Amino acid sequence: MTKVKLHCWKCAEPLVDILLPFSRLARCKACKADLHVCRMCEFFDTTVSHHCREPIAEKVNDKTRANFCGYFQPCENARRNEHTRAKSSQASLESLFGLEQGDSKLSADNADKALQELDTLFGLDEKKQE
C-alpha cells in the first residue's frame, strides 16, 4: 500500500490519506463521489469501445459508480485528462468551421454569410424570393 498524489475525478479535491489499492467503497471526503470508478481509472478513454483501453475488462455501464473491475488503476490526473480532451475537441470543431482557436463566436457578417450559404445549399433561398 503506497500513497500517491491523487485528485478526485469529480471535484478535483486532493485525496489525502488515501491508501492504494482503493477499496470498492472508497469515497471522496469533499464531494462523497465513489473513487473506484471508471472515470478515475488510467484505462478510461471515451474514444475506444466501452470507454476502456483494457481489452479484456468487462463492460461497466455507469462510469461514475463504484464497480468491481480488477483492472482498475487510479489515474493521478483524471480530472485534468477530461479537461484536456474537452479542449482538444473544441479545437477540432473550431478548425472544422474555420474559426481561430479560442474564437468560438462568429461575427454578425460571418453568421449571415453562413446562413445564406445554408439556405442556398438546401434551396431555401429560392423559396424566400417567391
Q: What is the pTM (predicted TM-score) of this model?
A: 0.58
Query: Domain total for the chain?
Result: 1
pLDDT number for residue 40: 92
In a domain, 68, yes or no: yes
Q: What is the pLDDT of residues 61-100, one digit of tens each?
A: 999 899 999 999 998 877 655 545 556 667 777 777 777 6
In a domain, 86, yes or no: yes
Alpha-carbon distances, residue 55 vs 2, 41, 50, 85, 121 (angstroms): 26, 14, 10, 21, 44
| Contact partners, residue 114, CB within 8 Å, separation at least 6 | 106
Q: Is the dihedral of CA 49, 51, 57, 62 positive or negative?
A: negative
How many alpha carbons lie under 13 Å from residue 9 in its C-beta half-sphere? 22
In a domain, 65, yes or no: yes
In a domain, 22, yes or no: no
In a domain, 24, yes or no: no
In a domain, 53, yes or no: yes
In a domain, 81, yes or no: yes
Per the structure, the complete domain to which residue 51 belongs is given by 38-96
